[in-house]
Amino acid sequence: MDLSNAEWRKSSYSATQTNCVEVSQTPGLIRVRDSKNPDGPALAFTPSEWSAFLAGARNGEFDLVERA
């Protein structure tokens, strides 16, 4: 899929940093790429996969700190 016209967004917490993840929504898919390599590959997720990921992130599922 041609992503040259996709609107990519990154977190406002990233400010002017270049080591970020960028996200773009295309029909039926959420795309994710590395801001350091905008011409590189982009991962693709369905809306339900993306929602599950966000829910897990909000719930601390991916925290690297061990939980007691």
Per domain, the residue ranges of the chain are: 12-58
Q: Which residue has the tokens 């993840």?
A: 21
Model confidence over 1-58: pLDDT tens digits? Answer: 667 678 999 877 777 777 789 999 988 999 999 988 888 899 999 999 999 999 999 9
Q: Which amino acid is at 21?
A: V
Q: Which amino acid is at 3?
A: L
pLDDT at position 67 is: 61
The phi, psi pair for 32, rounded to 5°, reads: -135, 135
Q: What's the pTM value of the predicted model, to 2 decimals?
A: 0.75
Query: How far apart are alpha carbons 51 and 19 in whole angstroms?
Result: 23
Average pLDDT over residues 51-67: 88
Sheet (strand 21-26) strand order: 21-26, 29-34, 43-45
pLDDT at position 13 is: 76
